[in-house]
Structure 1
Amino acid sequence: MYFLDELKMKTSENLLFESILKSLLKMREFMVVCLIVIHCLNCQAQNNDTEEKNMFQASMIKPDRIAKLSDEHYFFDFGKDAFGTLIIEIKSPQTDTLIVHLGEKLAEDGTIDRKPGGTIRYQKVMVTDIPVNEKFVLSLQRDRRNTKSQAIALPDSFGVIMPFRYCEIEKLNVPISDVAIRQKRYNYRFNDSASSFVSSDTILNQVWDLCKYTIKATSFAGIYVDGDRERIPYEADAYINQLSHYCVDHEYGMAKETIKHFVDYPTWPTEWLLHTILMVYQDYYYTGDTSLISCHYEQLKEKTLYQLADKDGLISSYSDKVTGEFMHKIGFTDTTQRLIDIVDWPPAQKDSGWELANEAGERDGHEMLPVNTVVNCFFYENMCIMAELAGVLNKEDDAKFFSRMAEKSKYSINEKLFNKEKGIYIDGIGSTHGSIHSNMLPLAFGLVPEKYKHSVVAFVKTRKMACSVYGAQYLLEGLYRAGEASYALDLMTSTSDRSWWNMIRVGSTMAMEAWDMKYKSNSDWNHAWGTAPGNIVTRYMWGITPAEPGFEKVQVSPQMSNLSFSTIKVPTIKGPINAEFKQKNGRTKLFILELPQGMEGEFSLIAKGEKSKVMVNKIAVRSKDGQIPLKPGFNRISIKEKKK
């Protein structure tokens, strides 16, 4: 190419040569373009390979336990359920066909349950022609449902994977010492040391560990999915997944990709759609990044369903405004679809294909009416968030509009959906019934007037855990916001069959889709929407949340109840927050908080009305409005309650 340039300079006066050279130069330009394209494609392929390697992790796990069940029949326990496949290496010739069983659940006799029920996974594989001294990847059958077009596709390099903890091999006629078996686990990049939690309650510790591991294990798709049955993102599932993910690792890309997915692929439950803006809000506060807000602002506006609001500021998915054009505006390509109120998890519906054992579902008898209290609580929260996000983008008119809509919605919820005689919220306009959902959500979103908090809380406590593992997120949030820390802790450490401890007791190492199989007969054992304690412990019990976007400032408002000690490590975009708590005789509390550089904060003192002596780094201080300023680095706060 240098030669052509030189030749052009030396022969430019010769028209024939000039014509020939122009043709050659055009060929050169074409060749250059081709080379650039090839180079870019190669770079893209290399980048994709690098990105895939950087995004995902594969771990080779040895069995925790190996047992001989009978001649040529062995059992392997890998300690935890994980999404992956099996790697086999045999040092001497195997003369018979191997029968390999993989599963998540054990039967009563201690072997893998061949009929585990629901969507608990089991697979049997026949293996022939096993090479000697060579790693062999078990060929698994793909599941038809979770590999449909709506499901999230996995990287080709994964092959077919499934969740399993246990393996059995039959007809193994070589010495077990000649066999190496590994569980090859796949997950999105995850830093195990980014977070930790320990407390004086051993059940709470195990529940938190269950939640943390669930977040890691269910990240295998690189986007928040609902579990192995469908491998489809749903907004409500993803929101809880996001909150818990932020509390156990400083990883924010997965949430962003999930939000982008929901912009184009919303799901049909009304309340699920109303979680979209909640996810964007948390992304903004935990990262300080406004790109999702600015890029998708108009779509996000539509997904708040504000166009359905009536003159009272209440919405209904049964409105005449829900047309094909409206469905298109909120992101649906199939404009024949319509929103459906779900209110937690519904009872069996033959037309939907759901096969639920409990006819009541997880609705606590909720009356399904056109103007629904649960839906409108989510709508109110959407309006509050949208008003703030509009302000972030300096859209003053929108900010005022959404702020007014929030006020109108709040007023109507408290006037039209609250029974003042009973002191509780009803399920909808025209209802006489109040479910736990219709009362825990007003608590969680700060809708309850101060004078009615006692009656609403009292009612909620009579219902115990009358909601699903998803609803538990808002039940716990509402209780902590109402100052009911002890009762909330009791729920997180309960040993009933509607508890996280029950998930551990039945043998799952990930959060389950339902409290127990009897409450949802098609449920699975790998559902991140069941990880509420993973974020509640951090955000409410310890009370560590970003007070300003990007954790420029942190708010610490602990409600430790009867715990005698606790330590926690919380990942943030600025670095980890390390904290320690000790309590003596119920009157003296010690908090040690280490904040990363560039982060300041405020520490909330004990409940209003209680007198105490406060020392910060051994210096007596007086708080302003119950807040103690925190500085980067070491903060030692001693609180001694005065005798009454």
Structure 2
Amino acid sequence: MYPKYAIPALCLMLTVFTAVAQQKAPSGLLCDLLAFPELQVENGYPVPPEFPHRGGAPLQEVRIGNRQPAFSWIIPVASQQSAYQIIVRSSDGKEVWNSGKTASRRSVAVDYAGTPLAGDAVYYWQVKFWDEKDQESDYATPQRFRMAKNITAYNTARYPLQKTDQQPVTIRQSDNTWRADFGKDAFGQLRLTLTSSTGKDTVIVRMGEALRPDGSIHPRPGGTIRFQEHRLPLLAGTHTYRVRIRPDARNTGGQAVLMPDYIGEVLPFRYVELSGYEGNPGKEGLVRSIVHYPFNDEAASFVSSDSTLNAVWELCKYSMKATTFAGVYVDGDRERIPYEADAYINQLGHYAADREFSLARYSHEYLLHHATWPTEWILQSVLMAWHDYLYTGDIRSARYHYTDLTAKLLLPLEDANGLISTRTRKQDAALLRSIHFKGDGIRDIVDWPHTGILGLGKAEGGETDGFVFERYNAVVNAWYFHALRAMSKMAEATGKSEDAKALSARAENVRKAYRKTFFDPKRKIFRDGDSTQHASLHANMFALAFGLADEADLPSLAAFIRSRGMACSVYGSQFLMDAVYDAGDEAYGLSLLASRSERSWYNMIRAGSTITMEAWDNKYKPNQDWNHAWGAVPANIIPRRLMGIEPLEPGFSVFRVKPMPGGLQHASLQLPTVRGNIKMAFRQEGGTFFLDLEIPGNSAAEVHIPKAFTGKNYKLRVNGVATKPSRNGAFTLRSGQYAIVAGK
């Protein structure tokens, strides 16, 4: 959970204006996207804020480094804001900004506009609003923040890492060994409180992620599944020991993200064994300190009539928390290196699991300057920036990094035919410098791994569905088209209208060239490249997911995609699932999400992992690890596609609710957003669809009734009132609580 602090007495110095308030006060305040800008930790453990410090152990704390911090807040449900007033005061009570009553609906990412803020100084801000009837609210409880010593034009604030202590879920003795199970895998450290009467005892401590059939920890689990063994000589009496984790040479190398000194080295483990200990340690004698970014376990929830789907959701949601241990999105424990593709999927899943945006933004900005080798990964930086803006409503990051983002479009690789290629000798030192890539060149990946590498034999197909790499590649050009469209929207949002028009026109040219080069009009599917007839799952799912298919293509594309099954990696499944739902094939989408086949998310649970794995199974990637967030695709697909909630306008000012339940009898979801929680629940009963929906304040929803319950003369009731339905089943609702009933 997030730390919770009482507002200190110093806040009493603030002047709170009194008024006859007919509205509840705003809540959920964010300063530079942080809900707890006052957070301080000592050696990883949250401590009450103390300004100024009184000495003792050094503290890690949040510092706001932006010259103009941005403020966001949540408006009560059923309200629409017409005006706001923000007041910012220094710690001595001096007012440094009073916006006055400002006519505006904006409640996310409102930039500070007062006198310059001082470095290393503490401030408090509060806000109230007026609704559409000009009814005034109370002020929100003031929120405290501290500025960095060095303030710059733009800087992304983030939290320090936290530790949370846990005891085993179970502990039992088998022969001369105590076996403890913490219930779930986590990156952490181990403390033991043990007693020796002689001081001559030695205990063998084992920590690991996987078990053997006999229930003991597997010492050679294969791949990058972790195990460590330690000899622990005991002192006479009762003492608490900290097991010192041995660092791994690969994940502490030159490109890896290192654990900070205040945390120390960590190991992913679920199980602990103590051999040779004569006493009974009890649960209280074994403490695992897990390391994670601040995370609200209660922010998001999902439950449905399908128990397998529920288990998959819980696996993926927990993976969002467990894999934040490094303070930046990394690829897993084997390398601990940030990669764009991992971060993109992690970003979407994290948004669905918590009202937290800073880690995704920091990871994206880190990757802007630490690019990796795949062509598609470079283009994904643009999509990460777009989703950052779409989910937060805060354009500052894209504005500040506009030049870098434009470079990530790889425009110099475009040929006369309108397509890009890494095989036309257009890569040069200037291009690589512009994208901050330090290698010899980038190359296309499509999916990972390829055949014949990382322990796969030449006869094993890898995860590309036999994709044929040609001079012009369908997948990389689908990414190019997708990135151009996203960059056009960000250009418009940053006031660069001419750029926006040029990028939009270029995207349209790419679309025409793409269909001319890759679409097979006889088979009505897409080929892999310009000089091959081979058509892979990947060529077709990316084209469909990124808007390169015409409406008339959907039946043939959906049929082809079904015929290929899950012929992609856990990474590729992100775009397979998007494509399936874009084709309207909701029954197939549900069957994939809730599958129990070998190539399924449930198989990760069956294999014994509690964090999503890097591959469907060890045999598909023999060096895989068991803690890879890019395997957690359902964390975003369940809320985005099955439940159908996606932002249509930045900051969720308008969002779509388009449930695609397939055969799912009922489901409910709580989805955190920058504007507050969206709550929805549906059930199918006979020929009637029931939808309960709560829309956060200051927002609106475009609601779609599933096609199975619409058509000519279908009936619609909203909060018991007969409503004239639209022919396509879509209608708009403002903030509030609704009971919707639709059917034929």
TM-score of the pair, normalised by structure 2: 0.77
In the TM superposition, 1:600-611 aligns within 5 A as 600-607=700-707, 609=711, 611=713
Task: Tell whether the 8 Å contact from 2:171 to 2:282 is kept in structure 1 after alignment.
Answer: no
In structure 2, relative to structure 1, the CA distance for the partners of 1:66 and 1:368 (3 Å cut) is same
In the TM superposition, 1:52-451 aligns within 5 A as 55-71=160-176, 73-93=177-197, 95-130=200-235, 132-177=237-282, 180-332=285-437, 334=438, 336-348=439-451, 354-356=454-456, 359-451=460-552
Q: Residues of 1 paired with 2:236 and 2:405: CA distance?
A: 55
Which residue pairs with 1:598 in the alignment? 698
Which residue pairs with 2:675 in the alignment? 574
Q: Are 2:603 and 1:502 aligned?
A: yes
Deviations 1:178-201 (A, max 9, x none): 971111111110000000000000
Task: Tell whether the 8 Å contact from 1:66 to 1:75 is kept in structure 2 after alignment.
Answer: yes
Rg bigger for which structure?
A: 1
In the TM superposition, 1:21-32 aligns within 5 A as none
Task: Tell whether the 8 Å contact from 1:349 to 1:355 is kept in structure 2 after alignment.
Answer: yes
Q: Residues of 1 paired with 2:455 and 2:484: CA distance?
A: 35
Task: Tell whether the 8 Å contact from 1:346 to 1:360 is kept in structure 2 after alignment.
Answer: no
Which residue pairs with 2:575 in the alignment? 474
Question: How far off its partner does 1:563 sit?
Answer: 1.1
Count of residue pairs brought into register by the alignment: 595
Task: Tell whether the 8 Å contact from 2:613 to 2:625 is kept in structure 1 after alignment.
Answer: yes
Q: Residues of 2 paired with 1:479 and 1:68: CA distance?
A: 49
- DSSP 3-state at the match of 2:377: helix
Structure 1 or 2: more helix by fraction: 1
Question: How far off its partner does 1:278 sit?
Answer: 0.7
Task: Tell whether the 8 Å contact from 1:102 to 1:167 is kept in structure 2 after alignment.
Answer: yes
In structure 2, relative to structure 1, the CA distance for the partners of 1:131 and 1:589 (3 Å cut) is farther
Which residue of the other structure, out of 607, 614, 623, is the alignment partner of 2:716? 614
Question: How far off its partner does 1:91 sit?
Answer: 4.1
In structure 2, relative to structure 1, the CA distance for the partners of 1:302 and 1:322 (3 Å cut) is same
Question: How far off its partner does 1:129 sit?
Answer: 3.8
Question: How far off its partner does 1:46 sit?
Answer: 6.1
Deviations 1:471-523 (A, max 9, x none): 00000000101100110110111111000111000100011000000111000
In the TM superposition, 1:472-551 aligns within 5 A as 472-551=573-652
Task: Tell whether the 8 Å contact from 1:106 to 1:112 is kept in structure 2 after alignment.
Answer: yes
Structure 2 unaligned regions, length at least 5: 1-50, 64-156
Question: How far off its partner does 1:176 sit?
Answer: 3.8
Aligned-pair identity in percent equals 41
Q: Residues of 2 paired with 1:182 and 1:166: CA distance?
A: 12
Report the AA paired with residue 180 of structure 2.
F
- DSSP 3-state at the match of 2:285: strand
Task: Tell whether the 8 Å contact from 1:196 to 1:568 is kept in structure 2 after alignment.
Answer: yes
Structure 1 unaligned regions, length at least 5: 1-38
- DSSP 3-state at the match of 1:422: coil
In structure 2, relative to structure 1, the CA distance for the partners of 1:177 and 1:597 (3 Å cut) is closer
Report the AA paired with residue 145 of structure 1.
R
Report the AA paired with residue 266 of structure 2.
I
Q: Are 2:735 and 1:632 aligned?
A: yes
- DSSP 3-state at the match of 1:478: helix
Task: Tell whether the 8 Å contact from 2:333 to 2:627 is kept in structure 1 after alignment.
Answer: yes
Question: How far off its partner does 1:112 sit?
Answer: 0.6
Q: Residues of 2 paired with 1:268 and 1:359: CA distance?
A: 24
Question: How far off its partner does 1:452 sit?
Answer: 1.6
Deviations 1:423-480 (A, max 9, x none): 2111001011000000001111111111221111111100000000000000000010
In structure 2, relative to structure 1, the CA distance for the partners of 1:574 and 1:53 (3 Å cut) is closer
Task: Tell whether the 8 Å contact from 2:170 to 2:283 is kept in structure 1 after alignment.
Answer: no
Q: Residues of 1 paired with 2:193 and 2:434: CA distance?
A: 54
- DSSP 3-state at the match of 2:298: helix
- DSSP 3-state at the match of 1:577: strand
Moved more, 47-56 or 488-497: 47-56
Which residue pairs with 1:33 in the alignment? none
- DSSP 3-state at the match of 1:166: strand
Deviations 1:266-325 (A, max 9, x none): 100111111101111111011000111110101100101122112222100122220112
Which residue pairs with 1:48 in the alignment? 60
Task: Tell whether the 8 Å contact from 1:130 to 1:136 is kept in structure 2 after alignment.
Answer: no
Which residue of the other structure, out of 525, 536, 558, is the alignment partner of 1:457? 558
Q: Residues of 1 paired with 2:486 and 2:277: CA distance?
A: 60
Question: How far off its partner does 1:609 sit?
Answer: 4.2
Moved more, 134-143 or 55-64: 55-64
Which residue pairs with 1:35 in the alignment? none
Q: After the TM superposition, which parts of structure 1 deviate over 4 Å for at least 4 consecutive aligned residues?
A: 39-43, 49-54, 608-611
TM-score of the pair, normalised by structure 1: 0.89
- DSSP 3-state at the match of 1:183: strand
